[in-house]
Amino acid sequence: MRQREWLRFKLFVSPSDNFDDLSSAQLRELVLKLFVKLSEQDRMISELRLEIARLKGLKGPPDIKPSGMDKDAELAKRDQQQKRPGRGKIRLRVSIEDRVLGAAAPAGSRFKGYVSYLVQDLVLTVRAIRYRRERWVTPDGQTIIAPLPEGTDGHFGPEVQRFILMLYHQGQTTLSRLVTLLHGFGLSISEREVQRCLTDQQDQFLDEARDVLRAGLQGSRWVGVDDTGARHQAKNGFCTQIGNENFTWFGTRSSKSRLNFLDLLRAGHTDYVLNEEAYDYMRTQGLSAPLIARLAEQAETVFVDQDAWSAQLEWLGFTALTTTPNPVKIATEGAIWGSICAHEFLRDTVVLSDDAGQFNIGLHALCWVHAERLVHKLDTFTEQHRASQQHVRGLIWLLISAEI
């Protein structure tokens, strides 16, 4: 036996033992003791590794469920099925058509009413309508053509467009499969026309999303905001989420600065407004009093777009200044905040965020969910520490459920 192996072996065996004098039974007993010690040490090493990983914030081993072929998995699935409540009555979302089915009854039989039997079916048909639009020529030479029915936009009806949008976005159907499916129904449509239904003439969805954001910013007690990295049109950007329990809105931009966030809160408006709220914002951000007075001295206080506002700043000499903080940036943020307040957005509304600087505007507060994440990252070394951590997390979630 080599010297290194002998030293490693002596860790488990008393040095007074003489192996030549031991019988076979004694050797087997000694080997069993060694196996017990090795298994115990392996268990301790595994527990210590898990504890070190937990303290470092690393992920533990994956929780892989059984394949379903084991007996234990079958028993667990059977117990889960027994505990699962039965299905309730199916509530139909469509109107029911009644059809009476006659029965060949012999003479002398008595009628005893009906036995109901409900059948649901799906009918997918393709129809083509040729509209013959009347055309008239007025005495003065003008041509009048009868308008198309409301909802007709292009050579495909609203139901086809709705079906294409539903399958592509909700059903995650690829474009080629979608075209094949429509051809199977008997619809004559090309892949380019399906692509147009998905991308063109969708302004009504953008208008609807904008109106949802405006309604949410006007009537909410609080809104939660956050942003994350996003990929849009082959470029890296940032997606900002604004919402609460009543609405959710997403906007993707190339920046996540405060100027970008304020622009999103305008909800589609492009004006810049100089009012008391705008001047208060400029003061809190450190813009000098002479520059604020220079803005307030002007008679014009509302600017329709970015070009009009930039021309005003250039005429007042803001663009030539090199002071810190940047006067153009602070004045622009203040004018946008004035526009937000002028449109009655975020009036007495609390903005909940992860304490990122770009979200700290108006009535701002730290989101309880992000506070719970910070508590979760604390290192605990004793059972008392872990109990205190779980207690604080429970209190935070209690506050979240109470909507404080």
Does residue 178 contact residue 170 with C-beta atoms inside 8 Å?
no
Which residue, 298, 325, 342, sits at the end of a domain?
A: 342
Domain membership flag for residue 375: yes
How confident is the model at residue 3, as a pLDDT?
Answer: 47
H/E run at residue 353: strand 350-353
Domain membership flag for residue 101: no
Domain membership flag for residue 9: no
How confident is the model at residue 139, as a pLDDT?
Answer: 92
Q: How many domains does the chain have?
A: 2
298: left (phi over 0), alpha (psi -120 to 50) or beta: beta
Retrieve residue 371's tokens: 């506070």
Domain membership flag for residue 193: no
> Are residue 378 and residue 337 in the same domain, yes or no?
no
How confident is the model at residue 9, as a pLDDT?
Answer: 47
Domain membership flag for residue 46: no
* Positions of the chain with pLDDT under 50: 1-12, 15-16, 404
Strand order in the sheet with 222-232: 248-253, 235-243, 222-232, 350-353, 363-366
Domain membership flag for residue 263: no
How confident is the model at residue 372, as a pLDDT?
Answer: 63
> Are residue 278 and residue 329 in the same domain, yes or no?
yes
- Expressed in angstroms, the distance from the first to the final Cα of the chain is 71
Q: How many C-beta atoms surround the C-beta of residue 303 within 10 A?
A: 20
Please report, for residues 16, 105, 147, 189, 239, the alpha-carbon distance to residue 204 in angstroms, rounded to integers and kept in the order given: 90, 59, 20, 23, 21
Which residue, 291, 324, 342, sits at the end of a domain?
A: 342
Record the pTM: 0.57
Tokens 């059903």 appear where? 171
**Percent of the chain scored above 90 by pLDDT?**
39
Domain membership flag for residue 109: no
Domain membership flag for residue 316: yes
* Range of the structural domain that residue 397 is part of: 370-401
